[in-house]
């Protein structure tokens, strides 16, 4: 959490120094970092509320589901 907050502060400060204005609230990078931070806050709150209990996403099955992420799909030309 601290590292995410520090990263956001550092990069918004650099943006301000480089462009002479604050980073816009609709900046894609900033929106994604805020989403990551908010998700982390929710996860940590859930863990604190139920210590020692496994955390599952809302509506997820009782057994873990393997997930594969294709990091190159967006680079492939689409027909």
Contact 16, 22 (CB under 8 A): yes
Q: Domain range spanning residue 20?
A: 1-44
Q: Which two tokens stand for residue 44?
A: 């940590």
- Determine, yes or no, domain membership for 34: yes
Q: pLDDT per residue over 14-25, tens digit each? A: 999 999 999 998
Q: pLDDT per residue over 25-55, tens digit each? A: 899 999 999 998 998 888 888 888 877 766 5
Q: Look at the chain and report how many structural domains it folds into.
A: 1
Q: Rounded to two decimals, what is the model's pTM?
A: 0.60
pLDDT at 61 over 70: no
- Determine, yes or no, domain membership for 51: no
Q: Taking Cα atoms as reference points, which of 30, 24, 26, 23 lies closest to residue 7?
A: 30
Q: Taking Cα atoms as reference points, which of 66, 63, 59, 9 lies closest to residue 33?
A: 9
- Determine, yes or no, domain membership for 40: yes
* pLDDT at residue 51 in the model: 75
């Amino acid at each position: 959490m601290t590292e995410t907050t520090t990263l956001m502060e550092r990069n918004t400060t650099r943006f301000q120094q480089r462009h002479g204005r604050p980073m816009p609230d609709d900046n894609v990078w900033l929106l994604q970092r805020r989403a990551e931070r908010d998700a982390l806050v929710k996860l940590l709150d859930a863990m604190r509320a139920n210590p020692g209990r496994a955390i599952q996403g809302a509506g997820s099955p009782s057994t873990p589901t393997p997930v594969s992420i294709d990091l190159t799909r967006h680079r492939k030309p689409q027909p």
